Every structure is written in C-alpha cells, then in structure tokens.
Structure 1
Amino acid sequence: MPAPDPASIPLPLIFGPFDPSGASHLPIDAVICAGLGAHAGTVATAIHVQDTAGVETIQRLPAELIDDQARCLLEDIPIGALKIGPQYDPESIATLAQIAADYSNLPLVLQLSAPPLVPDLEDLDPEETVGALLELLVPQAHLVVVDARLPEQWAGQGLLSSARAGDPVGALHEFGAPLVLCCNAPLGPGLNGLVLHAHDQAGGRWPWPAPRVRTGDAESLLATVLCCLLARGLAPADAIAQAVPAATALLERHFHPGMGQRILRHAAS
C-alpha cells in the first residue's frame, strides 16, 4: 500500500492540559484527531493529577516552556489550524496570544471553560484570568466554542461589564470573536442543542444529545473536531456543518473503566 501524501494529512496543533486518565484534553484529543485522519501536534500547558472521577491537583507549566515547544513544532511542521483548550493563568494566556499573533494566518479554535476548583489555582485571581482570555485570545479566535451557561455566568459576575453584560454572546462579538458556537443552548422546551452566533450574519441551530460521556466538557470534543476540519482547509461554516454529526457519533462510543466518568472509546470493536 503506498504511503499517504503528507500534504493530504491535516495537521492541527492543540494547546491544553495533559489528563493522564485519557478521559479529556491532550491524550484523547490526539486520538480523536487520528480517528479523523489527522495528525495532532500537542503542547501541554499544564499537567493534571487526576483519575476518571476528577482533578486532584494541577501543575502549571512555565510560559517559556510552552513557547519553546510551540515554536519548535510550528517551525518544523506545516500546521493547518490551532486549538487552545482550557488555560488557567494570565501568563500562559499572554504567551499563547503572542504565538497566535505570530501565526495569525492559521485558523484558531478557542475553547472557553471555567477552571476546576483545586487548591493549586487559589493563588490566581479568576477575574484576571478571564480578563486575559477575553482581551488577548478571544480577539484572535476565528471560532469560539463555549458552554452557553458560561458567558451568562461571567456576565452575572460582572466580568463582561466592559462590553454588553446584558448580552453575553454579543459581548464576545465585541471583544472580537466573529463566530461563537454555544453548547447546551436552549432550543425549545426541554430541548438543548448547539447555537452558532455569527457577527453580522446568519447563524445556525443543531440538536445535540445530552452526553453520557464528557458531560463536563463535551464542547472540547467539538472544538477538536472543528480544528481538524479547519486544518483540512474547510471554511468555518462548512467545518461546523460537518463537525456536528461527526462529534455526535463520537459521543455514542464510550466505556466505563474506573470509578468516575465514562470515557470515549476509539479502539476498534
């Protein structure tokens, strides 16, 4: 069998924490990308100590290490798109913002999320971290993926007061995000789904199953699938249309190896 043409293999680069249980973040993201025919480069920004039941501690990695690893890959491999997952401190966010600015030609999928409640993050001011996300990374994102409840929570905490606190998604648009894909958004009585909010253009709505796996961050799975499709060269609207059924199908395959959450299953049956 002839080897595949390297130019035909999507090459996303994913920034995020390392989850040693393989339930979330970089380990499972790399597997998801492989299942979609892509080869993911990864840059760890933190290391979790956790099992399938939850996070015990978080070791944040130095900004210099994050920068060095990212630029090694970006200068070596023809990366096609970037995904930035959960970030916990302003210094790391500032480093990622500079990398994104230096490679502004690459589509950026930004997953916004709330940090886990662990003692390791108690030295940080959550308002400063959220402010850094909004001011440094949101303006550079081609597509923001977020649980619909999080912008509302930030608005209620006054973190969006510099924009339109009464319209949280509109506030994200004002910070510079052209496309905001909200997960777990209400579509009707008793029905949640995905809602795409596009600045100054038509959006979209899709049903989205209540997942039994990755119940806390199913939007991360969706962001990873989107990054793969953007790395393949698809336009954001086309990538979203393909990502929704692909991610929905992935959520149906899972198993229960430990005491906590179920894990996505990508091994052959």
Structure 2
Amino acid sequence: MTQTRTPIALTIAGSDSGGGAGIQADLKAFSALGVFGTSVITALTAQNTREVRAIHDVPAAFIADQLNTVLDDIQVDAVKIGMLSRPETITTIAAILRQRGLNNIVLDPVMVAKSGDKLLADESVDALRRELLPLATLITPNLPEAAVLLACKEAGDTEEMQAQAAQLLALGPQAVLVKGGHLAGSASDDSADLLLSADATHWLPARRIATANTHGTGCTLSSAIAAGLAKGLDVQTAVTEAKTYITAAIAAADRLQVGSGHGPTHHFHAWW
C-alpha cells in the first residue's frame, strides 16, 4: 500500500494563554482542516478574552533554534507567520526562510489584539515591510493593518481598499488579501474581502455575523489559508475555502462559553 504523505504546516507566531488566537488558534485550524501543525513561538502573552496583560518576547536566537530544528527534520509544506513584535525577530526569521527556500508563506501582520492592546512595536513595521513582505505568497492585513503598513489613513470605501491592496502588492508579496470587516459605512450584513494578485482581482463577500465572539478570527483565517496551501491548493482556492471555514466558525462561536470578553471562534464547529 502506498501511503499518502501527511500535509504539514508551520506557524510562527505568539502564544495566546487564553487559547483563542495566536499559536493555539493556528494549531486548532490546521487540525480541523486535516493538516499536521508544527510551531515556532515568538512571544508569550499573558492574555484572556478581555486583555493582554503582559508580553514576554522570545530571544531571536532561540526563535532561530526552534525554526531550524523543525526544518532540519520535518518537511513543511506551508508557513503561517503571525505576531512578530521586534525587528531582530523579523530579520532572523526572514533570513532563515530565504536560506531554506520555503514556499507557501502566509503573512498575517498582527498589530493589535481584539481587546485593543498593541502587539507590534513601531520600529518593527519597517522591518516587516522590508524583510517579510517580499517573501510572502500572501499577506492578509485588515484595513487598520494595511494603513499602518502603507503609513496612510485607513481606507474608507472599496475604491480606496483596492488602491491600498495594489500599493501593498507593489511591496513584493505574490498576492494580497485585504479584509474588509472594518470598512466604515459598509452594509450591516456585508463583510467583503479583496484578493488581489498581479493577474487577478477577486471580491469575496460574506454576511456579517452578529456576535462578540470574534477573538482570533484573523489568526484562524490566515492559518486556514496556509492549511489549504499545504494540501496543494492554489491561492484563490485556499482563500475561498478558508473564508468559508472562518465564516462557519464565527457563526458557531456563540455555542462556546469561554470568558467574559471577546470569546473565541469555534474552530471545531464541524466536529463538536
């Protein structure tokens, strides 16, 4: 009997002690979508559904040790990158990714937690833009994150959203997924995302779901896309399937009773 090789994804991100976002959300999404997950922890957070109380950055040398140790033994099919709070962390990871020639890199430029707590130091934005955007197969900023990366005001309509996506694409990634959930004045039932590459433009509409339990949605979406790429899907198909998955996870979020703030999405909605 010929054994099919297990699809494997790697998440490089911070740990959420509350379990709803970061490494924990990524590994749950990988598992729910049939992909084996490996991890490199870049920071520890003292976090719950209400707040980020403290952040402890992992030294860049130990991040390099984690990453090289995983890659020395395990064939990684896709990489999801999340919280990277310091410039030296970013440059260390970028150097190893270049050296190893890894493909299918999904970059989620995590900057602010759902609670409003800042997760990315100002001096890290330049390093992220310079070092990691050109390595990315796909970046997945929301509108506030896109504005920070471009040092401009937040997009106020779909035309500005598309213009900013084009500016981000010019910085080097192969494709950009700009998430439109923050779009001011958007219809109450609509939350469209824009997928832009050099040769295609796709709008991905979805109904806005009324729930406070949206902690970890960005982490989960980007890791779901990475899971699709690890299984051999093209970018557009991986994004479309991940969007379907996260929409269902948000719709089922109120079935979970976790904490008293912004609760998590339901990664295992199809199983529990």
The change in CA–CA distance for 1:112 and 1:62 in structure 2 (over 3 A counts) is same
Kindly report which structure 2 residues correspond to 1:138-177, keeping only aligned pairs within 5 A, or say none.
138-156=133-151, 167-177=163-173
Deviation of 1:71 (Å): 0.9
Q: Is residue 59–residue 120 contact of structure 1 (8 Å, CA) maintained in 2?
A: no
Unaligned runs of 5+ in 1: 159-165
The change in CA–CA distance for 1:253 and 1:192 in structure 2 (over 3 A counts) is closer
Percentage of pairs with the same residue: 25
Deviation of 1:6 (Å): 5.8
Paired with 1:214 and 1:109, the residues of 2 have a C-alpha distance of 24
Aligned length: 254
Q: Is residue 86–residue 115 contact of structure 1 (8 Å, CA) maintained in 2?
A: no
Q: CA RMSD in A?
A: 2.7
* 1:31-62 CA-partner distances (Å, limit 9, x unpaired): 11111111100110000001111201100000
Q: Which residue does 1:198 correspond to in 2?
A: 197
* 1:203-236 CA-partner distances (Å, limit 9, x unpaired): 1011234353663652221110010111111221
Unaligned runs of 5+ in 2: 154-161
The change in CA–CA distance for 1:62 and 1:209 in structure 2 (over 3 A counts) is farther
Q: Is residue 13–residue 40 contact of structure 2 (8 Å, CA) maintained in 1?
A: yes
* 1:144-166 CA-partner distances (Å, limit 9, x unpaired): 111023222444559xxxxxxx9
The change in CA–CA distance for 1:67 and 1:154 in structure 2 (over 3 A counts) is closer
Question: What letter corresponds to residue 41 of structure 1 in structure 2?
Answer: T
Paired with 1:91 and 1:29, the residues of 2 have a C-alpha distance of 23
Q: Is residue 104–residue 140 contact of structure 1 (8 Å, CA) maintained in 2?
A: no
Question: For 1:42, what is the secondary structure of its paired residue?
Answer: strand
Kindly report which structure 2 residues correspond to 1:1-269, keeping only aligned pairs within 5 A, or say none.
5=3, 7=5, 9-115=6-112, 124=121, 126=122, 128-156=123-151, 167-184=163-180, 186=183, 189-190=186-187, 191-199=190-198, 201-211=199-209, 212=211, 215=214, 217-254=216-253, 255-265=256-266, 266=268, 268-269=271-272
- Which has more strand, going by share of residues? 1
Q: Is residue 82–residue 227 contact of structure 1 (8 Å, CA) maintained in 2?
A: yes
Deviation of 1:132 (Å): 0.4
Q: Which residue does 1:161 correspond to in 2?
A: none
Paired with 1:246 and 1:153, the residues of 2 have a C-alpha distance of 27
Paired with 1:33 and 1:169, the residues of 2 have a C-alpha distance of 27
Paired with 2:57 and 2:229, the residues of 1 have a C-alpha distance of 28
Question: What letter corresponds to residue 261 of structure 1 in structure 2?
Answer: H
Deviation of 1:23 (Å): 1.0
Q: Is residue 214–residue 263 contact of structure 2 (8 Å, CA) maintained in 1?
A: no
Q: TM-score under structure 1 normalisation?
A: 0.85
